[in-house]
């Protein structure tokens, strides 16, 4: 009889844990959206000594295919997509969402590094159209990349 009782109790406890774990998992997925918001570009001087004027960045074609890459790797699958591009006088903000693990597992690795504050740099890929010295006055935005450096 004791053995039957303990098996029954064990079964009920297992069911309760299973139900609780499912509830916690559902709560996490509802609040865990995988979104990000980054300052994609500023009018500050970059490492090449160039300045990109924010009002000169053409986003028309980018908005047709708003890809987020890792490390400017144009040959690999995107790790996400931009959901909003906000151009201000001195900066451009991009909001987006990381691709699911099913679509691109690397996206979730990048996401985790971003969320942990380990990977916190981004860089725009663009085609310069017009210069005035070291100032890029017109360019076409191609993509945004999360980058390690």
- Mean pLDDT, the chain, rounded, equals 86
Q: How far is CA 54 from CA 2, 45, 61, 107, in A?
A: 75, 12, 16, 27
- Cα 126 to chain centroid, rounded: 18
33 pLDDT band, cuts 50/70/90, is confident
The answer for residues whose C-beta is within 8 angstroms of residue 73's C-beta and 6 or more apart is 145
Side-chain-side CA neighbours of 66 within 13 Å: the count stands at 16
Provide the whole-model pTM: 0.77
| pLDDT per residue as tens digits for the range 14-32 | 554 454 443 333 333 344 6
């Amino acid at each position: 009889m004791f053995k039957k009782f303990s098996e029954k109790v064990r079964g009920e406890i297992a069911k309760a844990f299973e139900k609780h774990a499912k509830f916690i998992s559902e709560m996490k997925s509802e609040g865990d959206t995988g979104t990000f918001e980054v300052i994609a570009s500023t009018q500050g001087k970059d490492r090449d000594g160039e300045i990109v004027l924010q009002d000169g960045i053409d986003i028309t074609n980018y908005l047709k295919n708003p890809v987020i890459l890792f490390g400017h790797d144009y040959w690999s699958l995107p790790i996400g997509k931009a959901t909003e591009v906000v151009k201000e006088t001195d900066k451009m903000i991009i909001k987006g969402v990381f691709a699911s693990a099913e679509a691109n597992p690397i996206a979730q690795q990048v996401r985790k590094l971003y969320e942990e504050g380990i990977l916190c740099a981004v860089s725009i890929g663009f085609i310069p159209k017009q210069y005035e010295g070291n100032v890029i006055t017109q360019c076409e935005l191609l993509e945004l990349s999360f980058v390690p450096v």
